[in-house]
Amino acid sequence: MIAIPAIDLRDGACVQLVGGSYAAEKVRVEDPLDALTQWRRHGFRAFHVVDLDAALGKGSNADAIFQLTAHERGLTFSVGGGVRDSDRVETVLSGGAEFVVVGTRAIEDAGWLADIANRFPGRVVVAADVKGREVVTRGWTAGSHRDIREVLAAFEPLPLGGLLVTAVHKEGQLSGVDLPLMGEVASTSRHRLYASGGVTTMEDLRALAAAGAYGAVIGMALYTGRLDASAVAREFAG
């Protein structure tokens, strides 16, 4: 399993939110490149970038994203947040990202998801953001009234690059991961699982690896120093 630092963008800065609430911003790094270079010094090579403003339809951090993906050759970026049309998918992938992460429209429009997954096989990652067991969309603000198992079943035939499952109810709270949820996804889906939400300790990471996760996205625990970044990179940087 690989550990992947999160670089969440808001108003051009790198931030961390508590519990998925845009009113509860706990960490802010004004220049996202500072965050990238910090994690690179520890040895991380894969990064997950989210445009929080685009996710809410309140702006774009496209310039900051391009600065990140163009900064150094040989790094792997997954980029998402507000990717809801095919042109944006193409722009993200041509702009230096290895993977494009799609959430809201992928959940709501199965035909569109099938189209882009087949046009870009292995490079589309679907974000399933979960509160309890319900998949939520539109920057975690709208419920779908659909259980995670029902949503995952629709993805099985597609040539995806993976599933990014975020336990929103654990996000940013440093309270541990939702291991039953992640274990269920890993055991029922053929796609790679990237787990997110609540990673707090090395034991959390080891438990996710044992449960079958391919990757773990880490935010708050790294930015607050709760996790020793060097220790995480030594064991899980890939």
Among 149, 145, 195, 139, residue whose Cα is nearest residue 170: 195
* Catalytic residue status for 51: no
∠ Cα 42 221 83 (to 5°):
90
Stated as kind and residue range, the H or E segment containing 88 is: helix 86-94
State how far the Cα of 74 lies from the Cα of 36, in Å rounded to an integer.
14
Q: Are 36 and 7 in contact (CB under 8 A)?
A: yes
State how far the Cα of 9 lies from the Cα of 58, in Å rounded to an integer.
12
Token couple for 116: 């882009």
| Burial per residue of 40-50, b for 16 or more beta-carbon CB atoms within 10 angstroms, e otherwise | bebebebbbbb
* Catalytic residue status for 147: no
State how far the Cα of 128 lies from the Cα of 102, in Å rounded to an integer.
9
Q: Write out the E strands in the chain.
A: 2-10, 13-18, 21-29, 46-51, 76-80, 99-102, 124-131, 134-137, 142-147, 162-167, 193-196, 215-218
Among 234, 188, 237, 187, residue whose Cα is nearest residue 216: 237
Catalytic residue of the set 34, 63, 115, 129:
129
Token couple for 84: 């809801």
Catalytic residue of the set 8, 51, 53, 178:
8
Residues annotated as part of the active site: 8, 129
